[in-house]
Chain A
Amino acid sequence: MRRPRVSSAWLLTLLLAWVVAYPLVIVGAEAARADLGAFVRQPTEWAALWASLWISAASVVLAGAIGVPLAFVFERYDFPGRRVLGSLIALPAVMPPLVGVIAFLFLYGESGFVARAVRALTGMQSPWRLQGPAAILLVHAYSMYVYFYLFTRAGLARLDASMLEASASLGAGPFATFRRVTLPLLRPALAGAALLTFMTALASFSAPYVFGGGFRVMTTQIVNTRLNGDMPLAMLETAALTVLALLGFALIQRTEGNRLVTSVGKGTPPALRAIANPTARRLAAFAGWLLAIVLLLPHATLVLVSLVPLNSWTTEALPPHYTLGNYAEVFRDPEKLRPMLNSLWMAAAATAAALGAAVWAGQLVVRRRSRLSRSIELLLSLPWAVPGTVVAIGLATLFSVRSPLSGRWVLVGTLAILPLAYLVRNLPLTGRAVLAGFRQLDPSLDEAAQSLGAGRWRRLWRVTLPLLKPALAAGGALAFVTALGDFVTSVLLYTYDTRPISWEILESLRLNNIGVAAAFGVVLMVVSALALGVGTRASR
């Protein structure tokens, strides 16, 4: 009486393959037609590839150097303000990439607050320029140390205290225990954080785009080549970046596959050590709050700049006038309100669709253990590995030709292309959360509902979805915020009717209307924080 299960699984697999894998295949096919010899002989291409690699590697080192010690301090020691600071420290994560970049521009740029302060104090003219690799690395270190911080803290929290005690009772001192027990046990967490940072840095677009200048990494090189009209070369570059990213992806899959069991039995993490020495306590608290201020400076900068009227701030160290006019403009001017509404509906639609796909996948992969499970899971997580630039160019290429027989329609230039791109990029986030949610469900609950006579849709609606609410809220909030703050796909795929906030921010910046750009940034930040807040609350 039920239709064969295979059809549903095949349908989902085909749909996912069509929007996730097919664009990559098209890119590969187009790239194969381009002149590989010319690409290989171009020194600029090698320079960009090399720049992408070393910037990513340096980002890993910097992020690790900040995030790991912080995690140890917050997971092991107790001092005043530890709880508040511990959550503040994850703040850079709630800043959309482009917003973070412009906040850095206003703060550390050549006419930013810090430079103005230095000038006011010393009289030096333009002490530095925020440009090139150093500027990119500064932004990366600020936004990506969070991965190391969170992963290491989680790893430390899972660490069984009796492991450390066993080591001590076998005669190992604190340093030997750290080297021989703690570090090896943390290795999976550290490797995970390193790969995640590497992939994020490899895909990073906003920072190199705004701060790169003549220094090109692969993502900005692709956009530049496209702007110059050399489509075949852009395809080759896209393919090269994809190969790099997929290598990283394969590495991650392997690391997760043979993840060590952290502990043979179940144990409790080591107790917090209170800092007893009062001077040390005060010092720790002081250092902690100083750190929090440094972390919050970009956010504060953005708020301050958003209050500056147009062309009113020239050489003064602090803006002379403040107004709420920029906000009034952003909300009253229909031309400015439009991008905000665009971003909201597109992000909402993409998130809803991505959640739907994830629930569909969960039913098939976890509940029915379909034969296509592995393919479905792989397709769901694949866009995570692929840089946004690649997703955008892949979709732009796939949907620029009308050829229904090969599954291609013209969507470029329509309302649909940007939400579709957001959807593809959201799939890994919702997929991961919802599949994990499904795995935690007790299958006997669904069976109980069946034995009570509930049909398929009623079970989904009355049992499965309510139980999945935490996973849906968490995954949905994250996906919504990512889509809302997206810059790279937006800049490559927008049409005038679907122009999103990030495009408008860049446009205001170009017109030197920094107050409005900052006001948009603040709105984006507040909406993101609200969405994440609602998501966290509902996921408890």
Chain B
Amino acid sequence: MTGTGGGGPTTERPFLQLEGLTKTYGAHRAVDGLSLKVSRGEILALLGPSGSGKTTTLRLLAGFETPDRGRVTVDGEDVTSLPPARRRFGMVFQHYALFPHLDVGENVAFGLAERGGRTGRVAEALAMVDLAGYERRRVTELSGGQQQRVALARSLAPEPRVLLLDEPLSNLDPALRERTRRELREAIARVGITTVLVTHEQEEAFDLGDRVAVLNGGRLEQVATPDELYDRPASAFVAAFVGRANELPGPLLGGKAGARAVVRPEAMRFTAPGPGSLAGRVVARRFASGYAFFTVEGEGVTFEVFAPHDAARVGDAVHVTVDRVLLWKEPA
């Protein structure tokens, strides 16, 4: 699953490398032997539920936490024990952490050396995030989206080696999120900076990340391009986390007793009664732009079918066939 596309790691030496990172808090192992490689200019998204260790990983990268074991290298340089101030990693915080006592321009200039073309660099950085001329504004007067862009400009102004984004869109209302996501992607692409971002939303990770690393309980479940993750998940956890997935008893689909088949709702369809079809009754329907998720009860299980919204009605007795089993879960 490596090197097939989407900017996956190539034969060249990885720019940013995490090797066996482990971090424990008391008895809790927040990050457990995590290894990842990121190429120069690549955007890697860390995706996982809360408590999966993705934020801790980002803080280990930034230098706010020191790992118990493992190394972080950038361009061949070991930065594991380098303090954050000397790491030259830019970071955009979840709540932006803009300094309220400074104006927009002073915020952006914060990381720049005291003299020498500072004004020009600030203007450049603000222009890059479409906020040219905002230097003298107070940060508290800005909208959430603008604050986010100032935070991005501030972190990029000192020309860091790596950009870290902590849940960059979680603080915005949904209407704004999609547009900001696009702007963010364009800004990063323009700079061409190696980026690691943390998110718990699959859509965000897939949209922004060249590759996505799925974390669970401090461990890496799978790292791959979005398409690979969706189509060839390595585990039932990944399958369910990056999309909707039904789990059906194996024997229903010709599998072994005890095994379970993981099936995407769009890999199922309504059909005429026949051999191998599952009988059931539609108990609920949820619209999704022209299509709908139908909740079907039958054969002792409940599952979801994705079909045109008028394919069935609530209460209908239906038959369903499975086109493709995503993966088989063997009995534990």
Q: What is the interface of chain A, defined by CB distance below 8 A to chain B?
A: 160, 162-163, 165-173, 180-181, 184-185, 187, 260-267
Contacts and interface: CB of A to CB of B under 8 A. Distances in A.
Most central of A165, A173, A184, A187 by chain B CB within 10 Å: A165
Given A160-B97, A166-B97, A264-B96, A173 B85 contact: yes
B54 interface: no
Interface in B55-106: 62-64, 83-91, 93-102
Interface majority SS on B: helix, strand, loop or mixed?
loop
B147 interface: yes
B95 A266 contact: yes
Contacts of A181: 99
Contact of B110 (A167, A185, A264, A266): A167
A266 B91 CA distance: 17
Contacts of A263: 95, 97, 100
Contacts of A180: 110
Interface of B: 62-64, 83-91, 93-102, 110-111, 139-140, 147, 154-155, 158, 164, 171
B140 A170 contact: no
Contacts of B83: 168, 173
Given A168-B84, A184-B102, A264-B147, 8 more contacts: A170-B85, A172-B110, A173-B85, A187-B101, A260-B101, A264-B97, A265-B97, A267-B97
A236 to B, nearest CB: 43
Given A264-B140, A264-B147, A265-B171, A172 B95 contact: no
Nearest to A183: B101
Nearest to A172: B85
A266 to B, nearest CB: 6
Cβ-closest 7 pairs across A and B: A265-B95, A170-B111, A162-B97, A166-B97, A168-B84, A184-B101, A169-B91
B257 to A, nearest CB: 50
A299 to B, nearest CB: 39
Contacts of B100: 185, 260-264
14 contacts: A163-B99, A165-B62, A165-B64, A165-B97, A168-B63, A168-B84, A170-B90, A170-B158, A172-B85, A261-B140, A263-B97, A264-B97, A264-B100, A267-B97
Contacts of A265: 93-97, 171
A191 B85 CA distance: 30
A171 B86 contact: yes
Contacts of A172: 85, 110-111
A167 to B, nearest CB: 7
Contacts of A162: 93-95, 97
A162 to B, nearest CB: 4
A118 to B, nearest CB: 49
B139 A264 contact: yes
Contacts of A168: 63-64, 83-85
Nearest to B95: A265
A130 B22 CA distance: 62
Contacts of A165: 62, 64, 84, 91, 93, 97
Contacts of B84: 165, 168-169
B90 A169 contact: yes
A181 B147 CA distance: 18
Contacts of B85: 168-173
B50 to A, nearest CB: 15
